């Protein structure tokens, strides 16, 4: 029976990163993955293909609608959806093969099949070809999550589907109904809107992007409406069914909507079924998330869990942080994740980047704060880019000036937010940010100006 120091179950960003870090630290590591491609949801059917399509669709939209304003005149712009989808698949293949290469380089043994825990230190890997028993000093569960279902919404794997189907529609829908105005609904809704679909987003709550700073989410809604996304808030979807080539979507108190495709994006649930958790008495909560201590140890000896299967935001980079901290603690006795400094990004246009606490959280926690806001229209680089929508908001502790939250809606917010995350990680004040020289002309200057705005001393406004 093969013996490993560590068997990681799942090769998504959490699992594969943990496996690599553990190998660097000298452990004999194996990773079990049931899909033929490595990289998990993020690389295969999540972050990466969606970003490839967001990029392509934005290029198409710009070429069609905006290039002439930059003085670039094209003959008729046409959509070649097949090439767009092929490019997305190529990006995915390059990256998933890249993980294979990293496994080889780090001498990580890859097992193909479904892993089940079969007692302390024991994992059974089952594939169509064979069943392999593994022995492990440590086991790390990193099996990620899958789309939540909604009672009454009958997924048919084609017209009514999840993000997986929405990454590969063979033609641009005439009318796409998106259920859920969260990260996935807004990103994939934007893709198909830019390519010409009518897009209606049905959201249960009276706002979009729950959890996001209110002011930023309100701005975002206005901007997305200008782009043609139609929102129906306070709408509880009760059923969606295919009828011929059409779909009928029903919601409480409203007329049914007829459309040709439906995207269900109402959150995700942890993949904890059929893992043999009961064989070792691993405890989970009501949302099926595995209960762990501050070092990611479950209630079973030598078994750990990270990423989407434990509480916290379901984000690839959160899983990576946890994977690294978990195996570092396993080997060295030290390992830590700073949950106050985990950024989140919605890759719409403009992007939304957020880190730390929202104003609503600060109010709820009765923390006295001050804020500085700087609009992108006063930033020179944004002007030259022709992307002046949005703003940056810096929230600081009223007494100490320590930065507690930064919320950005702006072009390239996904890149800008990392500087804010570092500021929070280093315990910086708005004064620190304001006194750091920022290159000119850059979008990052708007972050500095927002820090200056905390004390009403912006220069360019
Ligand atoms: P989400 O939790 O972001 O949003 C789901 C939305 O559906 C919520 O606004 C919720 O109120 C709404 N909803 C729930 N039930 C409903 C109903 N019956 N009718 C209408 N609306 C309803 O979930 P989403 O967008 O599916 O994303 C899942 C996870 O994937 C998130 O945790 C997100 O963090 C992650 N993700 C991250 C991305 C990124 O980092 N850029 C991109 C895509 C996903």
Q: What's the pLDDT score for residue 269?
A: 98
Distance 266 CA to ligand 1 centre (A): 5
Quick check: 382 pLDDT over 90? yes
* The pair of three-digit structure tokens given for residue 198, joined into one six-digit string: 């009518």
Domains of the chain: 3-147+269-337 (3.50.50.60), 160-266 (3.50.50.60), 341-453 (3.30.390.30)
Quick check: 1 pLDDT over 90? no
Q: What's the pLDDT score for residue 7?
A: 98
Distance 91 CA to ligand 1 centre (A): 24
343 ligand 1 Cβ < 6 A: no
16 ligand 1 Cβ < 6 A: no
184 ligand 1 Cβ < 6 A: yes
67 ligand 1 Cβ < 6 A: no
45 ligand 1 Cβ < 6 A: no
Give the number of the atom of ligand 1 that is nearest the alpha carbon of residue 237: 19
* The pair of three-digit structure tokens given for residue 34, joined into one six-digit string: 């049931």
The catalytic residue among 295, 329, 336, 440 is 440
**If we measure between CA atoms, which residue out of 61, 59, 63, 56 comes closest to residue 81?**
56
Quick check: 333 pLDDT over 90? yes
pLDDT above 70 covers what percent of the chain?
100
Mean pLDDT of 427-433: 98
C-alpha neighbours within 13 Å on the C-beta side of residue 445:
17
Which pLDDT tens digit goes with each residue over 3-42? 999 999 999 999 999 999 999 999 999 999 999 999 999 9
List the residue whose alpha carbon is closest to atom 14 of ligand 1. Answer: 266
Confidence band for 426, pLDDT divided at 50, 70 and 90: very high
Quick check: 373 pLDDT over 90? yes
Q: What's the pLDDT score for residue 352?
A: 98
List the residue whose alpha carbon is closest to atom 5 of ligand 1. Answer: 266
* The pair of three-digit structure tokens given for residue 351, joined into one six-digit string: 């992007």
* 114 annotated active-site: no
Which pLDDT tens digit goes with each residue over 113-141? 999 999 999 999 999 999 999 999 999 99
Helix axes 81-105, 47-65, angle to 10 degrees: 150
Q: What's the pLDDT score for residue 18?
A: 98
Which pLDDT tens digit goes with each residue over 145-169? 999 999 999 999 999 999 999 999 9
Distance 46 CA to ligand 1 centre (A): 13
What is the average pLDDT value for the chain, to the nearest integer?
98
Q: What's the pLDDT score for residue 359?
A: 98
**If we measure between CA atoms, which residue out of 48, 132, 60 comes closest to residue 91?**
48
CA–CA separation, 62 and 56 (whole Å): 10
CA–CA separation, 173 and 165 (whole Å): 12
Confidence band for 393, pLDDT divided at 50, 70 and 90: very high
210 ligand 1 Cβ < 6 A: yes
Distance 196 CA to ligand 1 centre (A): 23
pLDDT above 90 covers what percent of the chain?
99
- Secondary structure (3-state) at 448: helix
The partner residues of 240 in beta bridges, in order of sequence, read 153, 249
CA–CA separation, 424 and 341 (whole Å): 6
Q: What's the pLDDT score for residue 303?
A: 98
Mean pLDDT of 51-79: 97
């Amino acid at each position: 029976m093969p013996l490993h120091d560590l068997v990681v179950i799942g090769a998504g960003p959490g699992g594969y990163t943990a496996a690599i870090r553990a190998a660097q630290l000298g452990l004999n590591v194996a990773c079990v993955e049931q899909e033929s491609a490595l990289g998990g949801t993020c690389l295969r059917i999540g972050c990466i293909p969606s970003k490839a399509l967001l990029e392509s669709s934005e290029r198409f939209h710009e070429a069609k609608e905006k290039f002439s304003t930059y003085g670039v005149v094209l003959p008729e712009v046409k959509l070649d959806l097949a090439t767009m989808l092929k490019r997305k698949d190529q990006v995915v293949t390059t990256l998933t093969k890249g993980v294979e290469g990293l496994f080889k380089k780090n001498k990580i043994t890859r097992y193909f099949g479904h892993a089940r825990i079969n007692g302390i230190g024991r994992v059974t890997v089952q594939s169509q070809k064979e069943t392999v028993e593994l022995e492990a000093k440590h086991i790390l569960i990193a099996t990620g999550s899958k789309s939540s279902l909604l009672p009454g919404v009958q997924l048919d794997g084609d017209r009514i589907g999840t993000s997986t189907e929405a990454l590969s529609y063979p033609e641009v829908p005439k009318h796409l109904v998106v259920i859920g105005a969260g990260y996935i609904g807004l990103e994939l809704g934007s893709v198909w809107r830019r390519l010409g679909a009518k897009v209606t987003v049905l959201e249960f709550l009276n706002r979009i992007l729950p959890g996001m700073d209110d002011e930023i989410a309100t701005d975002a809604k206005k901007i997305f409406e200008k782009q043609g996304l139609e929102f129906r808030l306070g709408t509880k979807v009760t059923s969606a069914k295919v009828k011929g080539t059409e779909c009928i979507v029903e919601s409480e108190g409203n007329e049914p909507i007829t459309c040709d495709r439906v995207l269900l994006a109402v959150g995700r649930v942890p993949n904890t079924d059929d893992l043999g958790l009961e064989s070792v008495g691993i405890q989970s909560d009501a949302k099926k998330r595995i209960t762990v201590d501050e070092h990611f140890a479950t209630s079973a000896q030598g078994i750990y869990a990270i990423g989407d299967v434990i509480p916290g935001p379901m984000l690839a980079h959160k899983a990576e942080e946890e994977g690294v901290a978990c195996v570092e603690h396993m080997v060295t006795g030290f390992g830590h994740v700073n949950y106050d400094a985990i950024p989140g990004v919605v890759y719409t246009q403009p992007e939304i980047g957020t880190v730390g606490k929202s104003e609503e959280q600060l109010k709820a926690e009765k923390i006295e704060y001050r804020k500085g806001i700087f609009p992108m229209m006063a930033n020179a680089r944004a002007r030259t880019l022709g992307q002046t929508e949005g703003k940056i908001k810096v929230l600081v502790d009223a007494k100490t000036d320590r930065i507690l939250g930064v919320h950005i809606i702006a072009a390239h917010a996904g890149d800008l937010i990392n500087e804010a995350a570092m500021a929070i990680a280093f315990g910086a004040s708005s004064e620190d940010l304001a006194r750091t020289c920022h290159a000119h002309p850059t979008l990052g200057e708007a972050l500095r100006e927002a820090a200056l705005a905390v004390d009403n001393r912006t220069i360019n406004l």
